[in-house]
């Protein structure tokens, strides 16, 4: 007979790790029988997960780098922003996942199955999970696999955040170690929202990443050409070594991911819409969503309750619509934001922690004809649902 578990977590990535750690941290859930299924074939999936937060945080012992300043650059702007009460932090993804693994290993009630899940079948009170060469059952499945229907729907993705980055080592000490470059629009692919993002590790080493918020996909060589040009012309580095490459594509969308939940199967992470649509960041939002989800589970509530704010999804949707219609506009929109608003308001807004008054202050300078058009389009959609 198949082994039965209270909860199955499919995928021990960003969301799965947050959920597992959260379940093990609560007295109400720490003794549940939990199974985690992942084939753990992520050798090539080393990512740098960066985020901002006020002061000390829950994962500080795992953090590899921190910064107190951020630059916003464009042809006529070079603004160094003091992050004030915030710190920008990075965690290497294997460090976070290994932390979850190590923590869970101390719990006899947590089982790991190192296999990819093939499919799940929902019965009245349980789910059968079929994985390569076996199966088990669970009362609830928390599933990080993106539903294939998501990619089939024509309008499910508004923009892609796609990027390639190199961790480079230069012979000369060129990097300012306490400042990241959030966005540098001096070099960009014409007609698109594209920019360079730089995370210094020390004076000689940094992640230099060319990023698009666009529908347009590009060949690998395009990122390489922009990075080579940036390193030579903007960082004035003649000779460097590539220590590591990271690459990815994150859907930027205000799509309603709740439609992929089934009775007893609940989507988490990217698959559940946990990525902030207008930024592509998800490490911190996964932390708070995992906490809310586990609270909902304990209270016997709908697992999605209070996970999403309709108001902020509305703002995200307008922002993405504006950038999708006129992709060139991104540099101006973000310049407006980063040069006119205090950074603490921007971070609070992106963390969905602002008051309506603060939101108006942020949105008003961004107002343009496309913004107004999409505001009313999205507003009317709210009443159609
Ligand atoms: C290169 C890169 C850099 C990034 N940088 C940042 C950043 O700086 N800050 C930030 O907030 N976000 C960043 N992101 C985005 C962030 O990584 C994702 O949003 C986040 O990982 C999504 O979490 P997730 O749990 O949904 O997916 P993942 O973290 O990808 O985890 C999914 C897990 O599911 C497993 N899985 C998949 N299919 C199966 C199956 N059939 N059976 C069993 N297991 C399965 C996979 O092995 C994986 O472990 C970055 C992304 C990339 C690619």
370/270 same-domain check: no
Q: Is the CB of 94 under 6 A from ligand 1?
A: no
- Exposure on the CB side of residue 359, measured as CA atoms within 13 A: 13
What are the pLDDT digits (tens) for 25-70? Answer: 999 999 999 999 999 875 556 899 999 999 999 999 999 999 999 9
Say whether both 103 and 201 belong to one domain: no
Is position 53 within any domain? no
* 79 within a domain of the structure (yes/no): no
Is residue 187 located within the same domain as residue 131? no
DSSP sequence for 38-67? -----TT---EEEEEEESS-TTGGG--EEE
- Residue 17: φ, ψ to 5°: -65, -45
pLDDT at 356: 85
**Segment (H or E) for 139:** strand 134-143
Pocket test residue of 70, 95, 144 for ligand 1, highest count of atoms within 8 A of CB: 144
Rg (CA), the chain: 22
Q: Domain for residue 219, yes or no?
A: yes
Determine which helix (DSSP H) or strand (DSSP E) holds 381, and give its type and residue range. Answer: helix 369-384
The per-residue pLDDT of the chain, averaged, comes to: 93
- 195 plus 228 within the same structural domain: yes
Q: What is the pTM of this model?
A: 0.94
| pLDDT value of residue 74 | 97
Q: What is the pLDDT of residue 63?
A: 98
Q: Are residues 116 and 243 in the same domain?
A: no
Q: Are residues 228 and 268 both part of a single domain?
A: no
Which ligand 1 atom is at minimum distance from the Cα of 270?
26
Q: 125 and 35, same structural domain?
A: yes
14 lines ligand 1 (CB under 6 A): yes
Same domain, 145 and 28: yes
CATH number at residue 113: 3.50.50.60
- Same domain as 286, residue 231: no
Contact between residue 243 and residue 167 where contact means Cβ atoms under 8 Å apart? yes
Range of the domain at 235: 159-252
Q: Are residues 107 and 148 in the same domain?
A: yes
pLDDT in tens, 325-344: 889 999 999 999 999 999 99
- Is residue 64 in some structural domain? no
Distance of CA 213 to the CA centre of its chain: 13
Question: What share of the chain has pLDDT > 70, as a percent?
Answer: 93
What is the β-pairing status of strands 3-10 and 34-37?
parallel
Structure tokens given for 228? 């080579």
pLDDT of residue 373: 66
Rounded to whole angstroms, how far apart are CA atoms 19 and 275?
A: 15
For the segment 305-332, the average pLDDT, to the nearest whole number, is 91
Q: If you take atom 30 of ligand 1, which residue's CA is the nearest one?
A: 13
């Amino acid at each position: 007979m198949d082994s039965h578990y209270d909860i199955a977590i499919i995928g021990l990535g960003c969301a799965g790790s947050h959920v597992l750690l959260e379940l093990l941290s609560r007295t109400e859930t720490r003794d549940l029988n939990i199974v985690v299924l992942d084939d753990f074939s992520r050798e090539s999936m080393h990512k740098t997960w960066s985020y901002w937060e006020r002061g000390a945080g829950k994962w500080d012992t795992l953090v590899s780098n921190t910064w107190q300043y951020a630059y916003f650059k464009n042809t006529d702007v070079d603004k160094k922003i003091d992050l004030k009460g915030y710190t920008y932090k990075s965690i290497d993804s294997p460090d976070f996942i290994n932390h979850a693994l190590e923590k869970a290993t101390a719990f006899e009630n947590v089982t790991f199955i190192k296999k990819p899940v093939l499919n799940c079948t929902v019965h009245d009170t349980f789910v059968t999970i079929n994985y390569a060469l076996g199966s088990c059952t669970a009362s609830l499945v928390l599933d990080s696999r993106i539903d294939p229907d998501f990619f089939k729907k024509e309008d499910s993705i508004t923009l892609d955040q796609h990027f390639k980055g190199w961790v480079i080592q230069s012979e000369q000490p060129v990097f300012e170690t306490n400042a990241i470059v959030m966005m540098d629009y001096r070099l960009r692919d014409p007609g698109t929202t594209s920019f360079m993002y730089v995370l210094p590790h020390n004076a000689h080493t940094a992640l230099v990443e060319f990023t698009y918020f666009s529908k347009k996909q590009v060949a690998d060589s395009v990122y390489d050409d922009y990075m080579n040009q940036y390193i030579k012309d903007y960082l004035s580095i003649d000779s460097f070594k590539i220590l590591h490459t990271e690459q990815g594509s994150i859907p930027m969308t205000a799509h309603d991911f709740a439609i992929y939940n089934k009775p007893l199967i609940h989507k988490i992470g990217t698959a559940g819409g946990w990525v902030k649509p207008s930024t592509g960041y998800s490490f911190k939002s996964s932390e708070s969503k995992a906490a809310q989800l586990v609270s909902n589970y304990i209270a016997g509530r709908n697992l999605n309750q209070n996970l999403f704010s309709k108001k902020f999804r509305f703002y995200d949707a307008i922002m993405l619509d504006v950038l999708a219609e006129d992709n060139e506009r991104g540099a101006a929109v973000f310049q407006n934001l980063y040069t006119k608003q205090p950074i603490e308001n921007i971070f609070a807004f992106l963390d969905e922690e602002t008051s309506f008054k603060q939101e108006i202050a942020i949105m008003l300078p961004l107002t343009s004809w496309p913004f107004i058009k999409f505001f009313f389009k999205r507003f009317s959609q709210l009443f159609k649902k």
